[in-house]
Chains A and B, each alone.
Chain A
Amino acid sequence: MKRFFLPALILLVSILTAPSLCQDAISKFAPKAELIFIGTILMPRASTIDAQDVSWLAVVRMDEFLYGPKTYMNFVGKNITVQLKEPEKAKAKSRSLFFATGWYFSGDIGVIEIGRMPIDAAMDIKEIVAMIGRVRQEAEDDELILRLSQAQLVVRGRIIDIKRVPGQNKLSEHSPNWREAEIEIGKVLKGNFSGRTIKILFPSSNDVMWYNSPKPQMGTEGIWLLKQFTYAGKKLELLTAIDKADFLPKSDEERIVRLLKK
């Protein structure tokens, strides 16, 4: 009887503690991971890619893809190379939940482990995927909270006028070619502003540096996260929305209002 008791106890403890261990690992690593997958280490200190030093590497079969860019989905069922955090602890045939960042792309791929936890058949993969989804959503909310905190003014509105800004100083192929846009304000979501309209600057250039910046057109409606911006050593006179994520659809208003309260 005694000899069954200890293994049974271990099994029970592991079943009870596994979800919380899993939750801890996901909370810690998922926000930074670009790729999350379940994989089996086939061979430590080996590589599928062209690497001379394999001491930190392992060949891992990607058993299930859980999160990441579509590129990685093509490698499900295939062997990839993982640069391990603790290669000395890697054991062949062990199955783990891998959290990784991208590194090397050729015909094969190499990724860099940022975290890993052992996984066994008893674990509910659907629940793990759901946990990852929740953590990623929280991470995205945190990013938006940070962005909102950095904005001086957050307004919902519509573009009613656009003008060219003359007299730009030094030129480069990356000159922003500033335009002035006037927003008719529907609602101020953050900041003190009592006017009916506000003028902002935006880069009209489609240079590689600016093409992702919001390029409002006459009639464009949405939510602008407006900040002061320094360019070419000078603080711009008007507020701007430079980053792609500084303009959001008006359907995001409820989420923004909720996050502004946090």
Chain B
Amino acid sequence: MKKYIWSFLGLAAVALVAFLASSIDLQKDEKPVVDIEKTVRVLKEAGRPLVYHKLFGVERVTVVNMIPNAQSDETGQDSEPNLAVDPSDTSRIVGSAFTENPSGNLTSAPIFISTDAGTTWAMNNLLPSGNGMTGDISLDFAREDHTLYTGILRGGSYLRMMILRSGDPFGSTMMTTLRDYSSEDRDQPYMTATTTEVSGVNNDRVYAGFNDLDNGGNGRTASVEYSLDARTAAAPAGFSPTVVETRNAYNQDMPAVRWTVHGSGVVYGIFYRWVSDSTPNPKCDVIVVRDDNFGSGTNPFTALTDPGDSIAGRIVVSGRIVPAFYDASGNMTMLGHNRLVASNLSIAVNPKDSAVVYIAWADSDYTLHVRRSTDSGANWSSDLIKIKNATNPALAITTSGRVGYLYQQLTGSDPNYRWETHLRRSNDGKTWSDMILADTPDNDPAPAWQPYIGDYCDLIAVGGTFYGIFSASNIPDSANFPQGVTYQRNADFTTKKLRNGDNTADVDASIDPFFFKITPPSVIDYCDLYPNRCQLVELERGRLILEVQDLPFVGVDPVSKNCLVKWDCPGCGGGGFLCPPYYHIYLEDINPADWEIQLLTKFGDPANYRLTPIKTGLVLSFRPSSKLYREKEIGDYYLAFESKGDIQKRPYVIRTKLEVSDFPFDEHLMRQKDIKE
């Protein structure tokens, strides 16, 4: 009898999870509020418990100080951060900042890497350098197949711009140099990349906006270095420069030249043209350029002309004062303790509609403006939102058209100014939510050099999730991080002091990079709240049953529960060497063509795992992160099974077993073979 009750509960649970997942599709696409309300109404009519209504409002905010624990002693000024999320595996994220090589080596510089969707971070020395760090740096992943592209000014070499590539930024091989401008002055490379299929082959299309200070006497310096097939070819891998400024400038264009690319081939760029007056109050136009085929034609980036002079490059606003650089006495223009250098530009295209594009810039008394075009840049709205005393705007748009807007605003009064890091979001560009991610002092630490927090920060949208990075004072004070924060480096939030590597002494405050992520609600939220309803209730050992009643089907199986019944789950005391060890989950008698199988963390993120086909099915192999690991229960992970295509409605029985090892799966197999032989 008991067995039938369990089976009934199990069927109900699986069906409910499948129903929820199929009706709200929260993992893939963040739906606007109206859809959630509709879903609730459907649930209500179907007699489902309305407690889920609260659930749909839930989103997860994660803020992480990225300095690794091994670097607890560091006091560097890790400002001007940038971020890249691998769209084809969002567990893989790479960040950058003005960060010194921790080992003291002057010939290489580090990037930050995470293989667990930003929960934990490491530093990996992969960049060429002459002083152990980089000058300006930005990075982006191609949309497919995991290649990372990076633009840097080589550390210790002034305005020596380099473009770099890595197929595996998580390994130990230095990035490949594709371009190295050792004898020209090029400033602020800013990377944007995508992938497109050409004759069945994926081509990476990569754009590095930069300011070509060597370009002629007419001041046309806004440029892009780009390649239409950057992934595999030897240097320069198709990269070549193009000046995108079509009018003469007063002296030059300003440093920031930013790009956004749509999968259809529409590419937009934005820059400031310096039109008159001297620093520190130069007057500038904000100009947007466009190309409709990735920049592949004979006159690239000239598709958008201005109605005033019919010249390529739409002037969105004209003659705005953009405070920047030095005054007559040689003093730098400042906002708080951070300098101003006309780098406050951002542009983002709607991934579902290439005609919809948002821009942000700063002018006058350091007011940030956001505007939108819905006709491919031909016409522009008035200001959608204005923020005073702010810098470092960054825009991104989710697949559902939701706009994210990150910026850093100076608040308070001298000498107690503070930096508030805001993320605003809007579904329509008119109504904006406001979330303060950090509220940190402007005077602790004192600036060691400039920029104090950076000339830019970064925001990215992948699917419905926003990912971002900003730099701020790292004083471990919970009040400074209203959404909460996790530190990897040693920190005492009671005394509000950083601690050194062996936790024996305090460490001075400094500027650190902070990663954040805003994740929409997912099916995992449901499982978190009602774990018993998410179990696949097959009580037999070594079997996992997917009761497919409706299609598409999503089944979620909490890994820790399996340790009670399906598997033995030895932990660190199991005689192995690593803690936590690798776990290899065998899923046999399953057709991989019918199922999308994922391992998700309790936060709904894809975990860092590998799927390896074997003769009888698949092996899902992973090593739990120390934060999510639980002894003898593996940890807070979920196996998710999503049906692919039109499979039959019936129970699918999967044989399963678990092997625990000190090694990744390939190595594990090899060692087992050695033992048997």
Contacts and interface: CB of A to CB of B under 8 A. Distances in A.
Interface of A: 34-35, 42-43, 45-55, 59, 68-75, 83, 101-112, 164, 170-175, 177, 204-209, 211-212, 231-233
B662 interface: yes
A207 B330 contact: no
Interface stretch (B398-406, B448-456, B560-568, B591-599): B448-456
B73 interface: yes
A34 B626 CA distance: 28
A171 B325 contact: yes
Contacts of A207: 449-451
Contact of B159 (A50, A71, A73, A172): A172
B330 A204 contact: yes
Interface in B618-677: 623, 626, 662-664, 667
Given A102-B103, A110-B172, A50 B122 contact: yes
B73 A71 contact: yes
28 contacts: A34-B103, A34-B104, A34-B105, A51-B171, A51-B664, A54-B663, A55-B667, A71-B70, A71-B103, A83-B172, A101-B103, A102-B101, A102-B102, A102-B103, A103-B124, A105-B68, A105-B123, A106-B69, A106-B488, A107-B68, A109-B70, A171-B325, A172-B341, A173-B325, A174-B159, A204-B330, A207-B450, A232-B214
A232 B172 contact: no
A191 B326 CA distance: 36
Contacts of A68: 103-104
A107 B188 CA distance: 32
Interface of B: 68-74, 79-80, 98, 101-105, 110, 115, 120-125, 131, 133, 135, 153, 158-159, 170-172, 183-185, 187-188, 211, 213-214, 221, 251-252, 255, 279, 324-326, 329-330, 339, 341, 343, 447-451, 455, 488, 501-502, 577-578, 608, 610, 623, 626, 662-664, 667
Given A103-B124, A177-B330, A207-B450, A171 B251 contact: yes
B653 to A, nearest CB: 31
Contacts of A233: 183-185, 214
Contact of A105 (B71, B80, B221): B71
Contact of A103 (B125, B184, B185): B125
Given A53-B171, A208-B449, 4 more contacts: A48-B578, A71-B71, A111-B103, A205-B450
Contacts of A74: 70, 72, 501-502
A207 B626 CA distance: 38
Contacts of A102: 101-105, 125
A208 B339 CA distance: 12
A195 B330 CA distance: 30
A127 to B, nearest CB: 25
B131 A69 contact: no
Contacts of A49: 122
B100 to A, nearest CB: 10
A171 B252 contact: yes
Nearest to A208: B98
B200 to A, nearest CB: 28
Contacts of A204: 330
Contact of A54 (B133, B251, B667): B667
Contacts of A232: 159, 185, 213-214
A206 B488 contact: no
* Chain B interface SS verdict (over half): loop
A103 B172 contact: yes
B220 to A, nearest CB: 12
A42 B577 contact: yes
B70 A174 contact: no
B122 A69 contact: no
A75 B71 CA distance: 12
Contacts of B98: 208
A45 to B, nearest CB: 6
Contacts of A175: 325-326
A209 B501 contact: no
Nearest to A172: B187
Nearest to B123: A105
Contacts of A164: 329-330
A68 B211 CA distance: 39
A71 B501 contact: yes
A209 B158 contact: yes
B135 A209 contact: yes
A234 to B, nearest CB: 10
A231 B610 CA distance: 49
Contacts of B102: 69, 71, 102, 105
A210 to B, nearest CB: 8
Nearest to A57: B172
Nearest to B134: A208
Nearest to B608: A50
B608 A106 contact: no
B364 to A, nearest CB: 20
A106 B121 contact: yes
Nearest to B80: A208
Nearest to A79: B577
A46 B252 contact: no
B70 A106 contact: yes
B330 A46 contact: no
A204 B332 CA distance: 11
B104 to A, nearest CB: 5
A212 B158 contact: no
Nearest to B610: A52
A108 B626 CA distance: 11
B139 to A, nearest CB: 17
B105 A101 contact: yes
Contact of B626 (A45, A107, A208): A107
Interface centre among A43, A70, A107, A173 (most CB of B within 10 A): A173
B608 to A, nearest CB: 7
Contacts of A174: 135, 153, 158-159, 187
Contacts of A50: 115, 122, 170, 608, 623
A110 B68 CA distance: 13
B255 A104 contact: no
B211 A172 contact: yes
A45 B68 contact: no
A111 B105 CA distance: 12
Nearest to B105: A34
A98 B69 CA distance: 23
Contacts of A105: 68, 70-71, 102, 110, 122-123
A207 B448 CA distance: 10
A71 B74 CA distance: 9
B660 to A, nearest CB: 14
Contacts of B101: 102
A170 B172 contact: no
B188 A173 contact: yes
A212 B279 CA distance: 25
Contacts of A104: 122-125, 172
A59 B125 CA distance: 20
